[in-house]
Chains A and B, each alone.
Chain A
Amino acid sequence: MKEVMAIVRLNAMNKTKKALADAGITSITARDALGRGKGLIDLQILKGAEKGYEEAISQLGGSQRLIPKRMVTIIVPDKLVDKTVRTLIKTNQTGKPGDGKIFVLPVMDSISVRTGLNGDVTLDDVE
């Protein structure tokens, strides 16, 4: 059992949800998050700074700004990790900085609150 935690763009959420549902991974948790990455500069700000806009130039230095993102958490059985990651990369990849990161973490157990069952039966199962 693994936890796939992805930080994605806000405007990519709808197609991400659709792609995951199409792939059979229906149960997800999403929440708002703010973040920054390796500190690469936003292309638009750089362009603005080149044109001499003061506002853009002031945003260049120090880069402390946190950018709004969506954090998607999906718990999947081991065999579905690859499929989930591929689906996420495929739908979210634009090739520009800021597309996000995907982390894969181990999960010890999952228990359904309604039935009390635990283990892989509580998760999405795709043949």
Chain B
Amino acid sequence: MLMIRSIIRPEKVDATLAALMEAGFPAVTKISVVGRGKQRGIKIGEITYDEIPKDLLMTVVPEKDKDFVIRTIIKAARSGDKGAFGDGKIFISPVEEVYTISSGVKETAGGEIQEVKI
């Protein structure tokens, strides 16, 4: 299991969510964040804006679907054909265990599924 955290433009969120839904990965968590990137924010005249609002989409997928999901996100979240500064970043981190609270089902990175007895 891998957690894909993508920081994208707020105006691209709807398109990305729709693309993920279409691709068969409906489960997403969205958090609004502020941040700056390699360009050190945006400088307009004398003022530097370095807390640019972005949205963080978090989704956990099996390892085999990683590339497909990443490509789906990139395609949907990129502005124009070539993209532009500020389109965001995607970070991947490993997830060892996933629990579904309602059923108590536990999934491990190896793909084993078992139920947690409370």
Tell me whether A93 and B98 are in contact in the complex, defined as CB-CB below 8 angstroms, given that A7-B29, A71-B29 are known contacts: no
Asked if B11 lies at the interface with its beta carbon under 8 angstroms from chain A, I say: no
**Cα separation A64 to B14 with both chains bound (whole Å):** 9
- CB neighbours (8 Å) of B17 from chain A are 36, 64, 66
How far, in Å, is A80 (CB) from chain B's closest CB? 14
CB proximity to A under 8 Å, residues B1-19: 1, 3, 14, 17-18
Q: Which of A21-29, A50-58, A83-91, A111-119 touches B?
A: A83-91
The total of chain A residues at the interface (CB under 8 A) is 39
Asked if B47 lies at the interface with its beta carbon under 8 angstroms from chain A, I say: no
Complex contact B26–A103 (CB within 8 A): no
Asked if B113 lies at the interface with its beta carbon under 8 angstroms from chain A, I say: no
Asked if B118 lies at the interface with its beta carbon under 8 angstroms from chain A, I say: yes
Residues of chain A having any CB pair with chain B under 8 Å:
2, 6-8, 31-39, 63-64, 66, 69, 71, 81, 85-86, 88-90, 92-106
Instruction: Jot down 6 A-B pairs with beta carbons below 8 A, ordered by A.
Output: A6-B101, A35-B58, A97-B102, A99-B101, A105-B93, A106-B96
Q: 20 more A-B contacts (CB under 8 A) besides A39-B26, A103-B95? A: A33-B31, A33-B58, A35-B27, A35-B29, A37-B27, A38-B26, A39-B21, A66-B17, A81-B97, A89-B99, A89-B118, A90-B118, A92-B101, A93-B104, A99-B100, A100-B101, A102-B97, A102-B101, A104-B95, A104-B96
